[in-house]
Amino acid sequence: MNYMWATVIVIICTGMAALLHPFFNISDLALVYLPGIVLVASRFGRGPSVLASCLSVLALNFFFTQPYFTLFVENPRVVLTLVVILLVALVISTLTTRTHEQADAAQRAAVQVETERLRNSLLSSVSHDLRTPLAVVTGALSSTLEGWQMLDDLTRIDLIQNAYDESERLSRLLTNLLEMTRLEAGGLTVRKEWQPMEEVVGAALTRLESRLRDRLISVDLPPDLPLVPLDAVLIEQVLLNLLENALKYTPTDAPISISAVAVGTPQPTCIQVTVADRGLGLMPGDERSIFEKFNRGTLPSGGGTGLGLTICQGIVCVHGGQIWAERRSEGGAAFMFTLPISGVPPRVDLEPEPRREEDFA
């Protein structure tokens, strides 16, 4: 394939040289071929560029030296010119290929350094984030065990509850880490199916039930919201992460709202989901940076890995949607994401065949 491109480029150069031939001599025409050879060398590597060099000299010889349309050359000076052109072409192609390879190697090295840096910061971040809840679990349980006689029931329950809450946090941290690893390794399989958004929102709220019990949550999903092709497990994770952030960064009496609207007329082209809170909001400039890995924003940290939003972004991206954050003018933060409605929605024939049983309606 690459050799074919080399040949094609030489043919194009020959065409251009033919147009210029009446006005220039052989060594000037050779200059027309050199950019072609550089192009082949930089794009297709060494072999094709050597082929292009040889073909160029043969073409010069065949079409543009007297006698025309033979490979025979009368004038010894022209022979010398052709040999020099061949050498120059070969040197240029070698140099270009080498520069190109070095650039590639430099880029690979840079990526490696970056990966290494990320791995180190991941390790230090992870070991810190895992150790904190683990320390609470160990501490709370050991005080309960060792001080059993001295402690009253309420204190014991409080300590055990504390250990339990922290072990749940540990589990959530691990889930996010695992998800991140899968996203990065490209090992995330997306199983999109047409579903109502309400069901995914419901699943996320059910999973967070115990932690949302004392919170004011409003859900606003229009009844005519169309079905959306999505992976329920992954989009649930997006909602979980957004809701957990809202829980973590807002006072307990601040309301949280979830809403969705269909966008586009006459047929909706996507739906936009919003998770908004009335907490401290975002600092100016944080709207973008909070989506970066290990970034927890400039406000006091809620003790996460700083991976939640990065995961959200990754998942929304593989769905072909977008995610962004806004500061609400009346206070608080809002996180929005879109999910495109691509393809033809499946038909739903309501109540198609109720013959075996009588209708209760």
Partner 1 sequence: MSSPQQTILLIEDELPIRRFLRTSLIGNGYHLVEAVTGREGVQMTATVQPDCIILDLGLPDMDGLEVVRTLRGWTQTPIIVLTARGQEQDKIALLDAGTDDYLTKPFGVGELLARIRAALRRSSQAQPELRDLLFQVGQLRVDLAMRQVFIDDDEVHLTPIEYRLLSTLVHHAGKVVTQHQLLREVWGPEYAGAVHYVRVYMQHLRHKLEADPARPAYFITEPGVGYRLRAD
Q: Which amino acid is at 113?
A: V
49 in Cβ contact with 25 (< 8 Å): no
Stretch that binds partner 1, among 27-35, 69-77, 228-236, 247-255 (CB under 8 A): 228-236
Chain residues 230-269 in contact with partner 1, contact rule CB under 8 A: 231-233, 236, 258
Least CB distance from residue 359 to partner 1, whole Å? 6
Binding segment (CB under 8 A) for partner 1, from list 52-60, 94-102, 166-174, 290-298? 166-174
Tell me if 17 sits within 8 A of 5, measured CB to CB: no
Q: Which residues contact 230 (CB under 8 A, 6 or more apart)?
A: 192, 193, 195, 200, 319, 339
Q: What is the spatial distance between Cα 33 and Cα 219, in angstroms, rounded to a whole number? A: 68
For residue 133, the minimal CB distance to partner 1 (Å) is: 13
Give CA 191 to chain center in angstroms. Answer: 17
Does 200 bind partner 1 (CB under 8 A)? Our answer is yes
Of residues 333-352, those binding partner 1 (CB under 8 A): 346, 348, 351
Candidates 101, 146, 199, 292; binder of partner 1 (CB under 8 A) is: 199
Q: Quick check: 143 binds partner 1 (CB under 8 A)? A: no
Which one among 7, 125, 143, 195 touches partner 1, defined by CB under 8 A? 195
In angstroms, the Cα distances linking 191 to 29, 61, 184, 235, 346 are 58, 61, 18, 11, 16
Distance of CA 61 to the CA centre of its chain: 52
Specify whether the CB–CB gap between 217 and 256 falls below 8 A: yes
For partner 1, the closer of residues 184 and 198 by Cβ is 198
Number of residues that bind partner 1 (CB under 8 A): 39
| Residue 140, token pair as written in the block | 């709370």
Taking the complex as a whole, the smallest distance from the CB of residue 186 to partner 1 amounts, in Å, to 16
Q: Closest approach of Cβ 190 to partner 1, in Å?
A: 11
Examine residue 201 and tell whether it contacts partner 1 (CB under 8 A): yes
Stretches 6-14, 17-25, 173-181, 277-285: which one binds partner 1 (CB under 8 A)? 173-181
One residue of 203, 254, 261, 299 binding partner 1 per CB under 8 A: 203
Query: Is there a cis peptide before residue 255, judged by omega within 30 degrees of 0?
Result: no
138 sits near partner 1 (criterion: CB under 8 A)? no
* Residue owning tokens 């924003």: 297
- Intra-chain end-to-end CA distance of the chain, in Å: 68
Q: Taking contact as CB under 8 A, which single stretch among the options 2-10, 43-51, 55-63, 197-205 is the one that binds partner 1? A: 197-205
Regarding 180 and contact with partner 1 (CB under 8 A), the answer is no
Structure tokens at 234: 């992954």
Backbone angles phi, psi at 270, to 5 degrees: -160, 165
Which one of 15, 196, 264, 331 is in contact with partner 1 (CB under 8 A)?
196
On the question of a cis peptide bond just before residue 266, with omega within 30 degrees of 0, the verdict is: yes
271: left (phi over 0), alpha (psi -120 to 50) or beta: beta
Two tokens at 87? 């050498």
- Using CB under 8 A, which of 25, 66, 206, 301 touches partner 1? 206
Backbone dihedral angles phi then psi of residue 355, each to the nearest 5 degrees: -95, -30
Instruction: List the interface residues with partner 1, window 71-130 (CB under 8 A).
Output: none
Report the residue from 38, 137, 217, 261 that binds partner 1 according to the rule CB under 8 A: 217
Binding site for partner 1 (CB under 8 A): 167-168, 171, 175, 178-179, 191, 193-196, 198-203, 205-206, 217, 219, 221, 223, 227, 231-233, 236, 258, 346, 348, 351, 354, 356-361
